[in-house]
Structure 1
Amino acid sequence: MAYGRSRNGKGYLVLILLAVLVVIVAGGLYVWKKGKIAAPGAAGPAALKPLEKVATVQTPKDRYDVIVVGTDPEGVAAAVSAARNGQKTLLVDGRGREILGGLMTLGWLNSLDMNYEPDRGQPKREVLNKGIFSEWHGKIEGDSFDVTTAANAFNEMVAKEKNIDVLLKTSSMAPLVEKAGDLSAVTGLKVTLADGSSRTIAAGAVIDATQDADIAAAAGVPYTTGREDIGDKKARMAVTLVFRLKNVTPDVWKQIQQRLENDNDDSTGSNAMSAWGYKDMKDYPPVNKERVAMRGLNIGRQNDNSILINALQIFGVDGLDEKSREEAFQLGKAELPHIVDYMKKKYPEFAGVELDATAPELYVRETRHIQGEYRLSILDVLENRDQWDRIAFGEYPVDIQRLSPADTGAVVTDPEQYAVPFRSLVPVKTDGLLVVGRAASYDTLPHGSARVIPVGMAEGEAAGAAVKLAAEKHMSLRELSASKEQIAVLQERLNKQGMVLKPFSLDPQPFMKHPAYEGLKTAVSLGLASGGYKNDFSLDAKSNQQRVINLLEGFRKFNPDAMPGKPADALAKGGADPKTQPVTLEQAAAMTCKLLNVPAGEGGAAAALTGGGYWKQETLGKLKNQQELTNGDTYLLLNDVVQKLKAVSVSHQP
C-alpha cells in the first residue's frame, strides 16, 4: 500500500527546491505536507521493457527454513532478507498471480507514500526505512513508477537469491498448527498446487505477508476487523479500483501539467511521472450515488503513453468476502465509462484519451488487524514514541479514508516519527509465525499511517532476519521478542543490511503541553478528534452545542446499552441552531445525563454528574469559563466519564 495513497514529489520542476510538497487525498480534498523529498531519477517515462517471467518451482521441497506467504512488497522483502541471512526460503502465493509486487503491480497503486526523517532544517531529509525498500526504490522511475518496471525490479531481487524458491498459483493454502493447551505453533503449510495435487511443507517459521493476515487467521490468531476497536465494527473505508487511460501522449501530459501549474494552488502540481489535482472531480455526479464517488485525481504515468488513476471510491465493500470484492469490480467498471466521459467533456486535455483497462486487483485499504504481543496505538503515533524493539519507522499522516459518500474522511494527526516494535509482528498465543504489513498488530487509527509500503517492507526485512536469529539462539519467536539482548542483536544485523535503526527522542508537540491534553488523548483514542496535517486540535476554540452532541453520540457507539439516551433531547425544542450556540457547563451536563440516563436532581445536571462520580471537581476547576466551554474543556469532561465507566466495568468483572 502505498496503502494510504497520496502524492509526493513536487521538486522536479524547480531544481533549486530540495523539499517538496506531499498531497494526501481525504474525501476529495487535497492538503499539502511540506518538507518531502521526491524520489531521485524521475526524468520521465523510460523505454518500454518486456515483463519478465517469474521462475517458479513445479514441486516445492518437503521442508524450508522459512515459508513466506504473499508476494506483495512486504513478502518480497521478507523472502529476500531471510535468504540473505542464509535461510532456505519458499515464497508462495495463492491468488493466481503470475508476477511479484501485489498491490503495487497488480492493484496498480503505482505511487509511493514515503516516510522521511523529522524536518530539522537540514537541506535533505533522509528516507526513514532504507535497506531492501531503498534497494528496490532505486530501481524504479521515481515517486510514481511504471508497474512493469516495479514488477521486474521485485523479480530481479528475488531471482538473485539462490536460497529462494518461488511457488505461484496455488489454489489453496492452510497453516499446519500444533496445539498445546492455550498455545499453538505453526509448523509449516499445506498447499494445493495448480495441478490439484497437495503438498505438506514443513518450516522452521512462517511469515504471513498476505494483505489480510489470511494464514494467521486460519491458525486461530485473534484479530479485530476494520474499525471494530473504536466501536465501528461494520464501518469500512472505501476501496478503490485503479483505472488506466490511454492516448496520454507527451503533449497531453504537458497540457495536464500546464493546467495544474495555472491553478495557482499549492495543493496541486506535477512532475515528470506524477500529477495531483483536479480537485473538482469530487463534484462528479455518480450514476450509483449510494455506492460510488470520486475524489481529486492521483495520476501515475506509465512508459507507454498511458496513466493510472487512483480516485474512484467504492463503498460498502467487505474486503474479506470474495463476492463483495467482485461486486466492487462490477460497480467500478459500470461507473468508469461515465467518469471518463465526464472528464473528457470537462477538461479539454482529456478529450482524446480513452478508458483502457482496470487494475487486475482491487485496492482494499483495511481488513484484519491481528492481536500481537504489542498493539500499536494512536498515542504511539500522536506522541512520536520510540520503542526499544524498533524495527521500522513511520511518519506518514494518519489518513482515514471516507466511509460513505456522505463522509469526508479525516487526517487524525501528522507525526514526525514513531517506531514500529518487533512485538507487533508476533501474534499472541501462536508461535512459529510472524505477520508483516497492513494486517500487523495495529489499532485501526495508527493503521492509517503504518499501512504504507516502506513500513511494511521494513517489517518484512526484520522478520526475515529474526527467523534466522531465533534459530541460531534456539529461541521461539516469542522468546526473541521479549529479549532486549537479542533484539539489540537483531537491530545490529538489520543496520548492517542497510537499515538505520537508531533510538530517537523528539520534543513534545505543542498540543501535548496544553492543560486539556489528557482529555484530548481520550478523544483521539476514541476516534472523536482530529488535528489534520497541522496537528491543530483547536483546543482553545469555543465549542458549541452541536459539537458536544456529536462528541457524545460518537462516544455512545462504544456501548449503546450503557448509554441509552440521546444528548440532543436536552436541548429546548424549536431553539436556535445548536451549531451556532455556545455551550455552557450545565448544558453539557444535561446532554451527558441524557446520554447516561442519569437523573438530574434539584441541584442540576452538573451536580448530578459530580455527585455520581462521572465528573471530577478537579476537572471543573480547570474550566476557565463555564458559560462558554472550549473544545478542550469538553474533552476533559468526556475523559472523566470514560474513566468512571472503565472503573465501573472493572469492578463488575468476576
Structure 2
Amino acid sequence: MIVLSLLAVALLLSSSVTFSPRSEAAAAATSCTTPCQHYDVVVIGSELEGILLAQAAHKLGKSVLILDPRPKPGGQLIQGQMLVLDEPHDAKARSLVQGEMKRLFDGYNNKSIRTFAEFNQYYNGLIKSIPLESGITIQSIHSVQTTPKGSSRSIQSITYKSRDAKTHTVAASYWVENTDFAAIAGRLGLTRIPGTESLFKGGGPAPEYMAATYMLRFKNVNWNELHEATLRDYPLTKLAAKYGPGTYVDWNFGTGFSNLTAKFKPKDTQLKLRGINSTYQRDGRVIINALLIYDVNPSDDKSVQAAIKKAQDEAPRILEFLRKNIPGYSKAQLDTLPDYLYIREHDRYVSEYVLKRDDLMNSRMFWDNVSIGGYPIDVQGTRRFPYGQGLGKPDRYGLPLRSFEIKGIDNLLTAGKNVGAEAAAYGSVRIQPNTGLAAQVIGIIIGREKKPLRELDAADFKRIHQYLKKDYKIQVQA
C-alpha cells in the first residue's frame, strides 16, 4: 500500500488527470493521497447557483469550500452584472420561483434589490461564512476507478495553485462544476451534449453557442419621459406597430423597441443590438440586456476577452444611438460597465438523465425532482441564425436530480447552466430560478441524507419531498 500511495502521488503531480489502479481501499477512499484537507463539498466556481448549493449544505453543518478560477467571485450575476432577472411562470401565470431565489426576486420586484451595490450585498450575504478562494489554478485531478469494468470513477482530490503561487491539495465527498467554462468537467474526457449547432440547419460538428450578452448600464435617464412617451401611443397594438413587437414600459421595466434597434449598425458583425430588455434601477439609472455577441466560446478565455473588448468599444456608439432614438435617453450617460459577459450557453456533459424538449412540453415530473421549472424555450441567436428560435411554451416541468449528476463520475455534480439538457430543452431549463432552486435542494439533501446521492431511491424521495415542503416551503412534486 505504501508503494501504491507513492505511485499515486507521483502521477498526481505529473498529469492533469490521474487514474490510480483499482483497489477496494482506493474505491472507498475519501482521504487525500498527499497531506491535505477533506471537505464534504467543494464547489468549483462562484456562479450564484453553486453558491446556493454550498450555502444550503453549509447551513446543515457540512464542511464546504468554494474554489474559483476567476480573479473575483460573482460570475454572471456580479462580474457580468446580469441584473435583469427573468421570472418563470406556469400556464396560469403563477410564479415558479421558490426557495432562496424567491428572496432575490422579491427584492427585485419590490425595488429593494435593483442597483449593483444591492445585488452585490445580497451575493456577499450568501457567501459570508463559507471559505472562498478566488484566482486559483487547477493543476491536477486525482480520480479512482470505482467499478470493475472501469465504467465509473470518482474524484478523490485536486491539486491547485492559489493566487500567492502556493500549491494545495484538497479532497471532497462531492465536487460541483459551477463555472461557465467547464473548469473541472472539461478535463475528464466526458461526452459533451451537443449544443446549438444541433438545432439550426447546416450546423457541423464544431460547437456553436447561443449569443452572449454584454450588459449596458446608463445614468441620467429620464424614465418618466420614456414611460409617458409609450403611454401616448397606446393601445399596445399601436405601440408595437411604431416601436416593434413586445414594446412595453411601466414604472419598473421596459421591453421592445426592436424597430428602432434594428437600425443600429455595429462596427463589428460579431455584435448585434437586439430589442431592449431593461430595468429601471432608480435615480435615473437603467440597465439593459440587448447587446448580443456571437461566436463566444465560454471555454476559451481569448474568445471571451476579445468579445468583452469589442462590446466595450461599441458601448459609446450605442449611447449616442439611444440618445437620438429612444425617448428619455437624450441626456443619458454610460454608467460603470461590467468586466465580464452574461454567457447563456455552457458546455454541458452527459448526465444520468438528459432532459428533452418533450419532457418540458408534456409537463413531465420525475420521482427524483429537485426543482419545478418553467419558461418559454428561448433559443437565442447565433451568427448563422441571428434571430434565434422559440420552440414552445411549457407549463411547468420537473428537473430530476439525475440531470445534475455527471454520468460516469460518481461524486461530480453540476450546477446552473451546466445542467444535463438537450439543446431543444436547454432554452428553458437554463433560466436561473429553475436551476437555482435545484442547486439549493441538492445542498439540502446532501446536508440531511446519510445515503450517497446516487443511492437514493423513489421511497427516499417521497420522504425528501415531504420535508422540503414542511421545513423549507419548497414544493417540487407534481
Bin of the TM-score, shorter chain as denominator length:
0.7 to 0.9
Which secondary structure state, in structure 2, belongs to the residue aligned with residue 323 of structure 1? helix
Conservation of the 8 A alpha-carbon contact between 1:212 and 1:439: no
Conservation of the 8 A alpha-carbon contact between 2:138 and 2:158: no
Query: Which runs of no fewer than 5 residues in structure 1 stay unpaired?
Result: 1-59, 120-124, 505-654
CA drift of 1:225 comes to: 4.5
Candidates 109, 125, 135, aligned match of 2:82: 109
Q: Supply the distance in 2 between the matched residues of 1:489 and 1:127 (Cα, whole angstroms).
A: 25
CA drift of 1:196 comes to: 0.7
2:116 partner amino acid:
V
CA deviations 1:394-442 (Å, max 9, x no partner) are 1100001111275322111001111111110111111111112111110
- Written as runs of structure 1 = structure 2, the 5 A alignment for 1:634-653 is none
- Written as runs of structure 1 = structure 2, the 5 A alignment for 1:467-546 is 467-469=446-448, 472-473=450-451, 475=452, 477-480=453-456, 483-504=457-478
- Written as runs of structure 1 = structure 2, the 5 A alignment for 1:296-445 is 296-303=275-282, 305-404=284-383, 407-445=386-424
Which secondary structure state, in structure 1, belongs to the residue aligned with residue 70 of structure 2? coil
Distance 1:85 1:315, change over 3 A: same
| Pair 1:196 & 2:165 matched | yes
> Partner of 2:48 in structure 1?
73
Conservation of the 8 A alpha-carbon contact between 1:391 and 1:422: yes
> Partner of 2:14 in structure 1?
none
CA deviations 1:538-589 (Å, max 9, x no partner) are xxxxxxxxxxxxxxxxxxxxxxxxxxxxxxxxxxxxxxxxxxxxxxxxxxxx
CA deviations 1:35-69 (Å, max 9, x no partner) are xxxxxxxxxxxxxxxxxxxxxxxxx9812111122
Distance 1:363 1:466, change over 3 A: same
CA drift of 1:304 comes to: 5.4
Distance 1:490 1:213, change over 3 A: farther
**Length, aligned pairs only:** 427
Candidates 266, 275, 285, aligned match of 2:254: 275
Which secondary structure state, in structure 2, belongs to the residue aligned with residue 108 of structure 1? coil
CA drift of 1:106 comes to: 1.8
Distance 1:336 1:135, change over 3 A: closer
CA drift of 1:209 comes to: 1.9
Q: Supply the distance in 1 between the matched residues of 2:97 and 2:47 (Cα, whole angstroms).
A: 17
CA drift of 1:348 comes to: 4.9
Conservation of the 8 A alpha-carbon contact between 1:177 and 1:186: yes
Conservation of the 8 A alpha-carbon contact between 2:84 and 2:289: no
> Partner of 2:241 in structure 1?
none
CA drift of 1:134 comes to: 1.5
CA deviations 1:572-611 (Å, max 9, x no partner) are xxxxxxxxxxxxxxxxxxxxxxxxxxxxxxxxxxxxxxxx
Distance 1:370 1:399, change over 3 A: same
> Partner of 1:182 in structure 2?
151
| Pair 1:259 & 2:232 matched | no
Q: Supply the distance in 2 between the matched residues of 1:325 and 1:372 (Cα, whole angstroms).
A: 26
Conservation of the 8 A alpha-carbon contact between 2:219 and 2:333: yes
> Partner of 1:462 in structure 2?
441
Q: Supply the distance in 1 between the matched residues of 2:426 and 2:83 (Cα, whole angstroms).
A: 20
Q: Supply the distance in 2 between the matched residues of 1:426 and 1:370 (Cα, whole angstroms).
A: 10
- Written as runs of structure 1 = structure 2, the 5 A alignment for 1:580-595 is none
> Partner of 2:39 in structure 1?
64
Distance 1:349 1:63, change over 3 A: same
Q: Supply the distance in 2 between the matched residues of 1:430 and 1:62 (Cα, whole angstroms).
A: 21
Distance 1:110 1:286, change over 3 A: same
Conservation of the 8 A alpha-carbon contact between 1:245 and 1:354: yes
CA drift of 1:174 comes to: 5.1
Q: Supply the distance in 2 between the matched residues of 1:342 and 1:69 (Cα, whole angstroms).
A: 40
Which secondary structure state, in structure 2, belongs to the residue aligned with residue 455 of structure 1? helix
2:193 partner amino acid:
T
1:62 partner amino acid:
Q
What CA RMSD, in Å, does the superposition of the two structures yield over aligned residues?
Answer: 2.4
TM-score using structure 2 length? 0.83
Conservation of the 8 A alpha-carbon contact between 1:400 and 1:412: yes
Conservation of the 8 A alpha-carbon contact between 2:144 and 2:153: yes
Higher relative contact order (CA 8 A, sep 6+): 2
Larger Rg: 1
> Partner of 1:645 in structure 2?
none
| Pair 1:127 & 2:95 matched | yes
* Amino-acid identity (%): 25
Q: Supply the distance in 2 between the matched residues of 1:168 and 1:174 (Cα, whole angstroms).
A: 17
Which secondary structure state, in structure 2, belongs to the residue aligned with residue 429 of structure 1? coil
CA drift of 1:86 comes to: 1.9
Conservation of the 8 A alpha-carbon contact between 2:351 and 2:406: yes
Q: Supply the distance in 1 between the matched residues of 2:339 and 2:272 (Cα, whole angstroms).
A: 20
CA drift of 1:233 comes to: 4.2
Distance 1:342 1:128, change over 3 A: closer
Q: Which stretch of the first structure deviates more once superposed, 211-220 or 325-334?
A: 211-220
Distance 1:502 1:106, change over 3 A: closer
Q: Supply the distance in 2 between the matched residues of 1:269 and 1:479 (Cα, whole angstroms).
A: 49
Candidates 49, 61, 78, aligned match of 1:86: 61
1:108 partner amino acid:
Q
Which secondary structure state, in structure 1, belongs to the residue aligned with residue 392 of structure 2? coil
Query: Which runs of no fewer than 5 residues in structure 2 stay unpaired?
Result: 1-34, 238-245
CA drift of 1:495 comes to: 2.6
Which secondary structure state, in structure 1, belongs to the residue aligned with residue 66 of structure 2? strand
Distance 1:301 1:169, change over 3 A: farther
Q: Supply the distance in 2 between the matched residues of 1:257 and 1:455 (Cα, whole angstroms).
A: 31
Conservation of the 8 A alpha-carbon contact between 1:284 and 1:293: no
CA drift of 1:169 comes to: 2.7
CA deviations 1:365-421 (Å, max 9, x no partner) are 113122011000011112121112111111100001111275322111001111111
> Partner of 1:223 in structure 2?
192
